[in-house]
């Protein structure tokens, strides 16, 4: 039902409710634990699976085309900056561990606060440049491309 929640692991903390892009992870009022209220609006995006602090959420492939008995599990670690996957086939013959980086910097620290950046000059405001330009376009002394610099002209109609 794409995502589902294991009864014995979920403590109803609501992290999944908070993150689900589709608003389909809700807390059941009777058992006070999370569940997927609308499986046919689930993208299997794993946002809730990754966010769950108790590894209580898993995915069972869409019933209309995925047979039972497979497993795709994940652990995402912002501190270490990695994500680890394990894929197990229905027939058990393939069991893969895959690891990938999710960031190259300490989480969130390398992103600038533009309120603290020096204010743009009037000349820059009147130009076509954006923040950090022209430097960041080529990371050299080059300037922004214009029709003139690239020898282009706007023409109407068909010509090819």
Kindly state the smallest distance separating residue 21's Cβ from other proteins, in Å: 4
Number of residues in contact with other proteins under rule CB under 8 A = 92
* Local structure of residue 95 (DSSP, 8 states): E
Dist. CA 65–CA 76, nearest whole Å: 28
User: Is 23 a binder of other proteins (CB under 8 A)?
Assistant: yes
Measured from the CB atom, the residue of 30 and 101 that comes closer to other proteins is 101
Q: Binding other proteins by CB under 8 A: which of 7, 11, 54, 102?
A: 102
Q: Among 65, 82, 63, 66, which residue's Cα sits nearest to residue 74?
A: 82
Q: Which phi and psi angles does 109 have, rounded to 5°? A: -80, -20
d(CA 126, CA 146): 15
Least distance in angstroms from the C-beta of 102 to other proteins: 4
Q: x/- string (CB under 8 A) for other proteins, residues 109-138? A: -xxxxxx-x-xx----x--x-xxxxx-xxx
Catalytic residues: 43
Q: Which of 11, 108, 123, 141 binds other proteins (CB under 8 A)?
A: 108
42 binds other proteins (CB under 8 A): yes
What mask of x and - would describe binding to other proteins in positions 58 to 87, judged by CB under 8 A? -x-xxxxxxxxxxxx-x-x-x----x-x-x
Distance CA 27, CA 148 (A): 59
**Selected binder of other proteins within 40, 53, 54, 80 (CB under 8 A):** 40
Tell me 93's DSSP state: S
Dig out the tokens for 144 from the structure.
């922004």
| Binding flag, residue 29, other proteins (CB under 8 A) | no
Terminal CA-to-CA distance of the chain, rounded, Å?
A: 51
């Amino acid at each position: 039902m794409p995502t589902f929640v294991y009864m014995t692991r979920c403590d109803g903390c609501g992290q999944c409710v908070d993150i689900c892009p589709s608003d389909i992870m809700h807390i059941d009022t009777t058992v006070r634990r999370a569940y997927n209220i609308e499986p046919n609006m689930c993208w299997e995006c794993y946002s809730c699976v990754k966010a769950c602090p108790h590894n209580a959420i898993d995915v069972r492939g869409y019933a209309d085309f995925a047979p039972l008995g497979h497993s795709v599990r994940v652990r995402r670690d912002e501190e270490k900056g990695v994500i680890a996957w394990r894929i197990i086939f229905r027939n058990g013959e393939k069991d893969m561990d895959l690891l990938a980086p999710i960031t190259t910097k300490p989480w969130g620290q390398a992103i600038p606060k533009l309120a603290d950046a020096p204010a743009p000059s009037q000349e820059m405001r009147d130009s076509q440049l954006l923040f950090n330009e022209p430097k960041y376009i080529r990371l050299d002394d080059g300037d922004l491309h214009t029709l003139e610099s690239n020898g282009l002209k706007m023409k109407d109609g068909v010509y090819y």
